[in-house]
Amino acid sequence: MKYFSIIKAALLITIGLGLPLTSVAAGHSGSEADPARGKEIANTVCVACHAMDGNSISPEYPKLAGQHPGYLLKQMLDFKATASKSAARKDATMNSMIAAFDETQMRDMAAYYSLLKQSPGTAKNRDTVLAGQKLYRAGDASKGIPACAACHSPTGTGIPDQYPRISGQYATYTEAQLKAFRDGTRTNDQRKMMQMIALKMTDAEIKAVSDYIAGLSW
C-alpha cells in the first residue's frame, strides 16, 4: 500500500488549470505570456528531461507541472549567463539549454508549465516520515531550523513568485537541492534563506524531510 499518496478526489486545481491557454499572465512584471508558444518550445526542447506533461520520468529532474510561473521564470533567468554576468544558478545541462532563449520565450514556457497537472507523489520511508513531518511542520528550534511550512505552506503550495510549490516533488531532486544549498553549489535563493537553513541540517534530516515533501498534497 502506498504511503501518504497525494491522490485525492478533492485536489485543488493547479494555477490556471482549466483556463484557455491564451488567458494566463506569468512572471514578475505581469505582462501577458503565451502558453501556446511555450508549449511548442517545451515539447520540442524540454521534453527529453521534463516529459510531455511536465512530470519528468527521472527523479533526478524536477517536476515542472503546476509550478508557479514567476518562480519558473526566475530559475530560467538564473540559469542563463549573459555578456555582463555569469549564471546565478549553475547546472551544465540547463545552462546550455536555456542559452538560446530570451525572456519572452522563458515567460511563455513558464506559463505553459504552470497550467499542467502535477502527477501524484508518495512518501516511501515509513521509518523516517514522522521525523520529516516534524521538521516540515515545526522545524527544530534547538538547531535554529524553521518550519518548512512557514514559507512553503502546510500543504506545500508555496507562495506564488516567492516560494515554490514543493508538494509532490521527487524526494531525490529535493534532497539534491537541499544538499546543494548546504554545500554552496546552489546560491540563487532569496536572501540566502535556504543556504542558512540547509547548513544546519544533517544528511538524515534532509532525506527525511525530502521524503515527507514527496507525499504532500494540495
pTM: 0.85
Phi/psi of residue 54, each to 5°? Answer: 80, 5
pLDDT band at 161 (very low <50, low <70, confident <90, very high): confident
What pLDDT is recorded for position 27? 39
DSSP 3-state of 163: strand
Report d(CA 133, CA 213) in Å as an integer: 8
Cα–Cα nearest to 112, from 11, 15, 217? 15
Is the separation of the CB atoms in 121 and 167 below 8 Å? yes
Report d(CA 131, CA 8) in Å as an integer: 24
Mean pLDDT of 89-107: 98
Q: Is residue 167 scored above 50 in pLDDT?
A: yes
pLDDT band at 190 (very low <50, low <70, confident <90, very high): confident
Q: What is the pLDDT of residues 29-81, one digit of tens each?
A: 446 999 999 999 999 999 999 999 999 999 999 999 999 999 999 999 999 99
Q: Which domains does the chain have, with CATH numbers?
A: 35-115 (1.10.760.10), 129-214 (1.10.760.10)
Grid cell in block for residue 196: 542558512
Residue 161 corresponds to which amino acid? Answer: D
Mean pLDDT of 133-162: 97
Is the separation of the CB atoms in 72 and 103 below 8 Å? no
Q: Is residue 131 scored above 60 in pLDDT?
A: yes
Is the separation of the CB atoms in 188 and 78 below 8 Å? yes
Cα–Cα nearest to 190, from 143, 158, 155? 158
